[in-house]
Amino acid sequence: MAKEFELNEVEVWDGNYAASQALRQAQVDVVAAYPITPSTPIVEGYGSYVANGYIDGEFVMVESEHGAMSGCVGASAAGGRVATATSSQGFALMTEVLYQASGMRLPIVLTVVNRALASPLNVRGDHSDMYLGRDSGWIQLDAFNPQEAYDLTLCAFRIGEHLDVRLPVMVHQDGFTTSHKAQNVTPLKDDVAYKFVGDYVPVNDMLDFSRPVTHGAQTEEDWHFEHKARQHKALMDSRTVIDEVLSEFKSLTGREYNRVESYYMEDAEVAIVALGSSVETAALAAKQLREEEGIKAGVVAPRCFRPFPYDLIRETLDRPTLKAVCCMDKSAPGGAMGALFNEVSAAAYTTASRPMITNYIYGLGGRDFAVEEAKRIFKEQKAHADAGHITTPIQQFSGVRGPRLGFFETRRG
Amino acid sequence: MSTGVLGTEKRGIRELGAEEKVGWDEVTRGVVLNSFEGDASNVAHQKAEERQYADFNSYTATVASWRIIKPVYNRDICIDCQNCWVWCPDTSIISRDKQMLGIDYDHCKGCGVCVEVCPTNPKSLLMFSEAKEQEEALAEWPEKKKKEKK
Amino acid sequence: MAITSVKNLKEFSTANDRFEGSHLLCPGCAHSMIVRELMNATDDNLVVASSTGCLEVCTAVYPYTSWDTSWIHIGFENSATAASCAEAMYKARKKKGTLPNPDAPVKFVAFGGDGATYDIGFQWLSGAMERGHDFTYICLDNENYANTGGQRSSSTPIGASTSTAQAGTHSYGKTQKKKDIVAIMAAHGAPYVAQLAPNKWKSMAKGFQKALETEGPCFINTVSACTTEWKFDPKDTISITDLATDSLMFPIYEIINGTELNILYRPKNIIPVEDYLGAQGRYRHLFKPENRHVIERIQKDIDEKWEYLQRREEARV
């Protein structure tokens, strides 16, 4: 029987430690892992809980991240709770198996500490790895600070393991800015947290010898499409369960989470849409601009990156006051608009207000995104709003040295 | 076939690949297939005819159409050595209580391994055209061969 | 553990098959002979993982499975990881008391072809062996990527013609020697490592039982004659395998705890490797005068290896 871990009412935890405590409180049965900066402390934490009797689980240090996710799939099919952590190159290496985990409908939880993808090699935070996972069939939740990393990791087990969902879930946090930033975190007591997460309910358990099951069969053109369509439907339908679990978490803790978070949007004329720790930066900038210059700035932040909340994004953007929106993508888009720009534009296209939408690529490889820059971007949106058309190229770069990069222009209002 | 043990249970009813391509509801979550209906805890101690195979079990399908030649079994010569049983790649030699009973023609692909490994003289298994009747084949069975000195 | 008697074939034949027919393997494929024998060698529950390859694509094509035990396939490279981490979950649930059948005996087994074992899954296998899980890995070694149409692997022997190491006017086929996977696995310090062949059914069944009984990671390389890519008549699978073991192209031996080597089969009459090579289409070109030297080389390698194995056995180190 695992020992209880003494916790203060308020702890000072960084994002990594917060996530590892959530894995402990969920009493994860198997963690198969491979270390990579900046996510390593999460699995180190799990290992230390096992070593000191705080978890009755198995910590399997495998030989690669591909092995880590492979091990998670094997362990999950064997009917217990499974989680791991990774970043960047490790995430890229496990990509093959991410698709297999979701196709096999195994509710693994992967805590991803977002980091840039090489080349050039870089250990700092951007969203390249998170974006790489966006077609993998996983639910992707995004935490903006250590408290959220803790809270959402607990919620992830509930969501993924829900019998109507049974899909793997990623909980993202930003490398270093969140993972290594110590902040006040209010944890739940062990028994309260475990009760919220609940006992693991095995489905198609390989260790139930009364019912032998075959996992990972092959499907060709006669069956594959229905399987993938049903999997997609399950992912889309998981929105209801996500809302339920977040609402239950609010009743338990008072901490409210939504698939789309918004700040100062009630009467906003200009907005930034962003992910991760930049959301807090943008929200602070919006608050200051309102106070200092009377610019009605707001922030929209998808909490749930997959399934993408087209419904709530549309709702949030569909207000007559809103004129200009900037979507901030922290990942090199590789010859396209940023993913957030594409998704948000699609959601906004059917709104009555049809705000002008532009795209910034920013923060690559951990380049700082400060309040002043957020303010500048808000003001640029205000200029679009005042002019009645987009006054800059649609896609620009924020915070990069050299010539001012810009792609595609429009005079349309 | 006069094996007696495989007459009644669900087996060999579907041509492989010819099963009804139903649509949406038959697609199992996560592509998981269960091998049996009901409690199968004791399968390692059950003969095929005692098991409750699920429709997903390939035991319920047939690959008979792969064959152009088939092995025919001659009980009169067989010494029940079980060579054919151990080396059959298609689980198609029916042995019960250390006795060879016959060939499972729903699962046999006609590879001919059983004939090659049969040690009797003449062999107790021989390959014939798929179209050949069992009685006809038995009537054509060769005589004992004299040992060739090498 | 509950083992099936392998005293003689009659006893063995009372085992109840848990690998079903109407799988899609080629007629005469040795894979299924080996898999059947493994599953018939024990009464225990099995959790089986298969790498992508002939065995996997032929035994679990929706909506059919040929497996009467728990079975999982993830990818080409990771059956060792799948089986070993299922075993980790077994331990975790045992501790916690959440196993549905806590007293039921279970064995964890991973299968991979030589492509999955010698090449693409080499790292995953090595990792699982090093971690010391209680499982058995069985390589179905048919010396090529048969599932994709017969490309060379690092298990393909020198001189064999494959679609990516073709014999032609300027080539005698593969120019590199087969990787010695058994030695590599023994070097991991695995408690039981063996090379076995289905024609020698008894030593194979006993080897399987030893591996399943031995606690810790065990590895068995099995020769799996491939009618399609070695190019011989399907009925000859066992006779070709006889030639493989009797020419010592595939010596049958085990290594216990990384050191103690035992030869499990000594042919009464060792046949020249020419007899083995000549029976298969993939070596046909070696009989041209200009390629004869390759046959000599293969024979020399075999003789040296046999000498080495015998000396290792004698030395007990």
Domain boundaries, position C68? 9-315
Check CB contact under 8 Å for A207 and C127: no
Give me C307's structure tokens.
């000498």
By the 8 A CB rule, do A201 and A160 touch?
Answer: no
User: Would an 8 Å CB–CB cutoff place B59 in contact with chain C?
Assistant: yes
Regions of chain C short of the pLDDT cut 70? 1-2
Give me A64's structure tokens.
């690669």
Peptide bond into C27 cis (omega under 30): no
Within 8 A of C56 by CB-CB distance, chain A residues are: 218
Of residues C294, C144, C171, the one with CA closest to residue C229: C144
What is the predicted pLDDT for the residue at A410? 83
A152-209 pLDDT, tens digit per residue, is 999 999 999 999 999 999 999 999 999 999 999 999 999 999 999 999 999 999 999 9
Check CB contact under 8 Å for C68 and B43: yes
Within 8 A of C239 by CB-CB distance, chain B residues are: 116
What is the predicted pLDDT for the residue at B4? 44
HSE-CB at A12 with a 13 A cutoff on CA atoms is 2
Distance CA A110, CA A82 (A): 9
Give chain B's count of helices (H) and strands (E): 3, 7
pTM, two decimal places: 0.96
CA distance A218 to chain C (A): 5
Give me B34's structure tokens.
């269960």
Residue C68 has its nearest CB partner, among B35, B90, B109, at B35
CATH hierarchy code of domain B14-139: 3.30.70.20
Within 8 A of A30 by CB-CB distance, chain C residues are: 85, 88-89, 92
Within 8 A of A104 by CB-CB distance, chain C residues are: 74
Check CB contact under 8 Å for B29 and A230: yes
Distance CA A76, CA A110 (A): 12
User: Which one of C74, C84, C109, C123 would you mutate to disrupt binding with A, by most A Cβ within 10 Å of its Cβ?
Assistant: C74
What is the predicted pLDDT for the residue at B7? 45
Distance CA C177, CA C165 (A): 12
* B contact residues 76-95, partner C, Cβ 8 Å cutoff: 80-83, 85-92, 95
Task: Indicate the SS3 state at residue A152.
Answer: helix
- CB-count exposure of residue B55 (10 Å: 0-12, 13-18, 19+): middle
Residue C259 lies in a domain: yes
Exposed e or buried b per residue across C191-212, where buried means at least 16 C-beta atoms within 10 angstroms of its C-beta: bbbbbbbbbbbebbbbbbbbbb
Regions of chain B short of the pLDDT cut 50? 1-4, 7-9
As a whole number of Å, the CA-based R_g of chain B is 18
User: Would an 8 Å CB–CB cutoff place A216 in contact with chain B?
Assistant: yes
Of residues C205, C244, C212, the one with CA closest to residue C225: C244
What was the ipTM of the complex prediction? 0.97
What is the predicted pLDDT for the residue at B20? 64
By the 8 A CB rule, do B112 and C235 touch?
Answer: yes
Backbone angles phi, psi at A146, to 5 degrees: -60, -40
Give chain C's count of helices (H) and strands (E): 11, 10
Residue A207 has its nearest CB partner, among C85, C90, C127, at C90
Check CB contact under 8 Å for B34 and A213: yes
Q: Return per-residue pLDDT of chain A as tens, 413 residues.
A: 789 999 999 999 999 999 999 999 999 999 999 999 999 999 999 999 999 999 999 999 999 999 999 999 999 999 999 999 999 999 999 999 999 999 999 999 999 999 999 999 999 999 999 999 999 999 999 999 999 999 999 999 999 999 999 999 999 999 999 999 999 999 999 999 999 999 999 999 999 999 999 999 999 988 999 999 999 999 999 999 999 999 999 999 999 999 999 999 999 999 999 999 999 999 999 999 999 999 999 999 999 999 999 999 999 999 999 999 999 999 999 999 999 999 999 999 999 989 999 999 999 999 999 999 999 999 999 999 999 999 999 999 999 999 999 999 887 65
Distance CA C118, CA A32 (A): 23
User: Which one of A230, A233, A235, A237 would you mutate to disrupt binding with B, by most B Cβ within 10 Å of its Cβ?
Assistant: A230
Q: Going by DSSP bridges, is the β-strand pair B125-129/B99-103 parallel, antiparallel, or unpaired?
A: unpaired
CA distance B105 to chain C (A): 10
Of residues B149, B110, B106, B144, the one with CA closest to residue B129: B110
C263-275 pLDDT, tens digit per residue, is 999 999 999 999 9
Domain boundaries, chain B: 14-139
What is the maximum alpha-carbon separation in chain C? 68
Q: Which chains touch A (3 or more CB pairs under 8 A)?
A: B, C
- CB-count exposure of residue C301 (10 Å: 0-12, 13-18, 19+): middle
What is the predicted pLDDT for the residue at B8? 42
CA dihedral C258, C261, C267, C271 (to 10 degrees): 60
Domains of chain A with CATH codes = 11-253 (3.40.50.970), 260-407 (3.40.50.920)
Q: What is the CATH number of the domain that holds C32?
A: 3.40.50.970
Domain total in chain C: 1
By the 8 A CB rule, do C161 and C170 touch?
Answer: no
User: Would an 8 Å CB–CB cutoff place A204 in contact with chain B?
Assistant: yes
Distance CA A229, CA A219 (A): 13
By the 8 A CB rule, do A98 and A133 touch?
Answer: yes
What is the predicted pLDDT for the residue at B18? 61
User: Would an 8 Å CB–CB cutoff place A293 in contact with chain B?
Assistant: no
Distance CA C34, CA C223 (A): 9
Residue B45 has its nearest CB partner, among C11, C37, C43, at C43
Residue C201 has its nearest CB partner, among B35, B61, B86, at B86
Distance CA A254, CA A264 (A): 20
Task: Indicate the SS3 state at residue A184.
Answer: strand
Residue B29 has its nearest CB partner, among A105, A217, A219, at A105
Residue A60 has its nearest CB partner, among C47, C70, C85, at C85
HSE-CB at A368 with a 13 A cutoff on CA atoms is 4
Give me C317's structure tokens.
């180190």
Of residues A4, A169, A162, A148, the one with CA closest to residue A85: A169
Task: Indicate the SS3 state at residue A386.
Answer: helix
Of residues A379, A184, A381, A383, the one with CA closest to residue A288: A379
CA closest to A68 among chain C residues: C81
Within 8 A of B98 by CB-CB distance, chain C residues are: 10-11, 13-14
